[in-house]
A and B are shown apart, each in its own frame.
Chain A
Amino acid sequence: DAMVIQNPRYQVTQFGKPVTLSCSQTLNHNVMYWYQQKSSQAPKLLFHYYDKDFNNEADTPDNFQSRRPNTSFCFLDIRSPGLGDAAMYLCATSPIGDISYNEQFFGPGTRLTVL
């Protein structure tokens, strides 16, 4: 089945220790998104890729970086995680075809704990 996969599902890291979250997709969608979601809050868009074009949200901290080496994979790097970065990180994809209908398909998420 075509899908969005995130690994790991649960990640524990130490305060200040770099961590990388990964996302892969078999949908062949052009657009990939990274969201941060804290409990009872809306998903917060961190950045997105339209093919290889990287788009950073203005309020995304420099501590967060992303890489998209090919269509299928996208990585979120947190260079020095703080306690406030503990959250669910959601990867989503979207096709660009009928641009007025941009449903986003989500992976299962990675829950990050910072100790």
Chain B
Amino acid sequence: GQNIDQPTEMTATEGAIVQINCTYQTSGFNGLFWYQQHAGEAPTFLSYNVLDGLEEKGRFSSFLSRSKGYSYLLLKELQMKDSASYLCAVSDSNYQLIWGAGTKLIIKP
């Protein structure tokens, strides 16, 4: 079956750095997405990786290793507004997104 695993919840301090991991097993791979979802709102796109390596976008970076079925999202200089759920999603062989349950990130002052 297809499976996306990510931690349920993480806590970090304002101004610090946090890494959210995602491992996946899917039938085919056409890229991995990270989305941010604030409570009661829709997911919003953060990043896309299809090749191995690190993609940097401001305070956020995303890394992919296809051979290990592994990705992480790195958030730097954490701000209170970064408190949200972070969803990992993989595009499978049919170009459908397989979603993880999300990691709830709690930022403390």
Q: Do A and B come from one complex?
A: yes
Residue positions of A touching B, CB distance < 8 A = 40-43, 45, 48, 88, 90, 99-109, 111
Number of B residues whose C-beta is below 8 Å from A? 24
Q: Would you call B96 and A45 a contact (CB within 8 A)?
A: yes
Q: How many A-B residue pairs have CB under 8 A?
A: 53
Q: A42-B87, A43-B43, A109-B41 are in contact. Are A102 and B30 (CB under 8 A)?
A: yes
The reply to whether A111 and B40 form a contact with Cβ atoms under 8 Å apart is yes
Interface of chain B residues 38 through 54 with chain A (CB within 8 A): 40-45, 48, 50
With contacts A42-B4, A90-B42, A107-B42 taken as known, whether A102 is within 8 angstroms of B95 at the C-beta atoms is yes
**Secondary structure of the A side of the interface?**
loop
- In the bound complex, do residue A41 and residue B101 qualify as a contact, i.e. CB atoms below 8 Å apart? yes
Contact B91 A108 (CB under 8 A): no
**Which residues does chain B contribute within 8 Å of A100, judged by CB atoms?**
30-31, 50, 91, 95
B30 nearest in chain A by CB position: A100
Identify the closest chain A residue to B97 (Cβ).
A104
Could you say which residues of chain A place their CB within 8 Å of the CB of B101? 40-42
**Is B86 interfacial (CB-CB < 8 Å)?**
no
Q: Which of A40, A88, A102, A106 sits near B91, CB closer than 8 Å? A: A102
For A102, list chain B residues within 8 Å (CB): 30-31, 91, 95, 97
Known: A40-B104, A41-B101, A43-B99. A106 touches B44 (CB 8 A): yes
Q: How close is B89's CB to chain A, nearest CB, in angstroms?
A: 8
Closest to A57 in B: B96
Residues on B with beta carbons closer than 8 Å to the beta carbon of A88: 40
